[in-house]
Amino acid sequence: MATVVSLDPHCRLAASGNVNGEVLIWRCVDGEIAARLAIHQGQVTALNFGHEGRILYSAGADRFIYVIDTSNFITMGATMLPAPAISLLVEEDAHFAALDSSGSIYRFLNKMTQKRKERHWLLAWWRWLGLRHAWNHEKSPLERKETAHV
């Protein structure tokens, strides 16, 4: 039984994951299975294609995120999170973010092994400050404080 599904941006391939840890990649043209990958130990929790459809990201209950090349259906790499990922967001083909079940966000930049953990509240606060400053077109609170004493 499928637990998650994803469609590539060009509607060339579709992917589904199941409770047994299998990722099935389907050809949209004829509905046939192009690849069956038994890569996770446990349920597949999230799937997402890269913007060009050349890469498929797969997350599982085993805490691993696999990167799959869709041209030959070979796993290109993997990384492990402290908790299972519940959602994947692809920013570019080489950059993606994962939200795990503890509420932490992980961004993967360039290399799969370089990850930066950001707490969701800290990221939201930082973005709010940046947007507030941009919308107001005024000096930051620190700059205002310094100029008030002059």
> How confident is the prediction along the chain (150 residues), in pLDDT tens digits per residue?
788 999 998 899 999 999 999 999 999 999 999 999 999 999 999 999 987 888 899 999 999 999 898 999 999 888 899 999 998 888 765 678 888 888 888 887 645 433 434 444 455 555 555 554 444 444 444 444 444 444
Assigned CATH topology for domain 2-120: Methylamine Dehydrogenase; Chain H (2.130.10)
Do 58 and 44 contact (CB within 8 A), yes or no?
yes
- The answer to whether the beta carbons of residues 58 and 17 sit under 8 Å apart is yes
In the structure encoding, which two tokens stand for residue 11, read together?
């509607």
Per-domain residue ranges of the chain:
2-120
- Helix, strand and coil content of the chain, in percent to the nearest 5, comes to 15, 50, 35
| pLDDT score for 28 | 94
Per-residue burial over 68-85, b if 16 or more Cβ lie within 10 Å, else e, is bebeeeeeeeebebeebb
